[in-house]
Amino acid sequence: MRLLNGCNTYTLVPMRVVEIGQNNCDEVPYGDDGGKRVNTDNVSQSQLSNELLDIDDGISVEEKRFQKEPVKLVIAFLMLVLSAVINLLALAWIHDRVPASSPLPDLFFRIFPHFPRALDFSEYFILFNSLAMFFLCFIHKYRWMVLRRVFFISSLLYLGRSVCLLVTQVPVADTTYVCSPKLNVTTIAVVFSRASHLFFGVGLNISGRYTLCGDYIYSGHTVVLILAYLVVKEYSPTRFWIFHWITWLVSLAGIFCLLISHGHYSVDVVIAYFITTRTFWLYHTLADSVCFKEYPQHNRFSRAWWFMLFQYMESNAGCPIPKIIEWPLSWKRCKKILNLPTRYMY
């Protein structure tokens, strides 16, 4: 039996009638635990995954779409490192160009009192959400794909942030913050020295290495807080609703602490929110559709500068990644890897 999935043709073996809906991905298991968008009688998810084959390759659709592809993961990670370095170089260069004037008018600053120490709390919230996000990636069945997407989207966000830092500098928002002395001439050696100093502090104030000013539009703190929540919400089952609420509340608290500390202007947070959410949603909309990748001439989003990289990264995807939790270090798996004798099982 031949099935048409958007732009690809598949076949079912052995002969068994399966009712297929109209959505592109209806024949692929999806949902909180692999889910069931397929209407079958007494057919388990594993049986269905094994029976749904690509007629060209003869392998299961699930196996083809959700491959590990470690090379792509490494490339995405290197892209993130490169974008982070560019971001730090931009900050090191603009430090001497920050206007020495009073802070800009800000509605949030007028309403709420100034509490400088709240910046540290905000960064602890960032660490919490980041750890929660990476823990989810660790226990997700398709952890390689999820991590690859996190790295790739983060690299896009930080590259965009670097451009914003370079084109517009605004006065320091926190009048109590002590910036490093400015230099009359900013040499390449000085820029690289500053950037390397910041790199090992991961760009956080609590590291004690963050003394440069001008790091405003748009907020990197907000990017990390919101991205972590979006990843947790996207890739964890709905039964993890407490986990979702915790990361959402932590994100909200982190942004609030960031603003009352005057670590960022309100506009920095607003811009970061819109750019982060829209980039995340756009990427996943494109990744979940086969036709958006195979027929770019009908896709206006294909005009994005990163679209060719996206095509490479998501060449095998075409449906949402199932929200399946799978502990990677089970005893059976460790035994198989280490080739332990059977007696060690007891």
The answer to whether 317 and 229 are in contact (CB under 8 A) is no
Instruction: Report the alpha-carbon distance of residue 158 to residue 271 in Å, rounded.
Output: 13
Is 221 designated active site? yes
**Cβ atoms within 10 Å of 219's Cβ, excluding its own:** 28
DSSP annotation of 319: S
Give the count of alpha carbons within 13 A of 226, CB side only.
23
Instruction: Report the alpha-carbon distance of residue 141 to residue 66 in Å, rounded.
Output: 10
Catalytic annotation, pick one of 95, 221, 262, 284: 221
Query: How far is C-alpha 87 from the geometric centre of its chain's CA atoms?
Result: 17
Beta partners for residue 9, in sequence order: 4
Catalytic annotation, pick one of 95, 140, 262, 264: 264
Instruction: Report the alpha-carbon distance of residue 137 to residue 131 in Å, rounded.
Output: 10
- In which residue are the tokens 């195979």 written? 294
The pair of three-digit structure tokens given for residue 218, joined into one six-digit string: 């748009």
| Strand intervals (E) in the chain | 2-5, 8-12, 52-54
Instruction: Report the alpha-carbon distance of residue 217 to residue 309 in Å, rounded.
Output: 26
Instruction: Report the alpha-carbon distance of residue 163 to residue 317 in Å, rounded.
Output: 30
**Amino acid at residue number 89:** L
Catalytic annotation, pick one of 96, 215, 262, 268: 268
Instruction: Report the alpha-carbon distance of residue 15 to residue 215 in Å, rounded.
Output: 62
- In which residue are the tokens 């057919």 written? 43
**Considering Cα of 112, then 118, then 119, then 121, what sign does the dihedral take?**
negative
Is 268 designated active site? yes
The answer to whether 95 and 194 are in contact (CB under 8 A) is yes
R_g over Cα of the chain: 24
Instruction: Report the alpha-carbon distance of residue 289 to residue 318 in Å, rounded.
Output: 5
**Considering Cα of 173, then 179, then 184, then 188, what sign does the dihedral take?**
negative
Catalytic residue set: 221, 264, 268
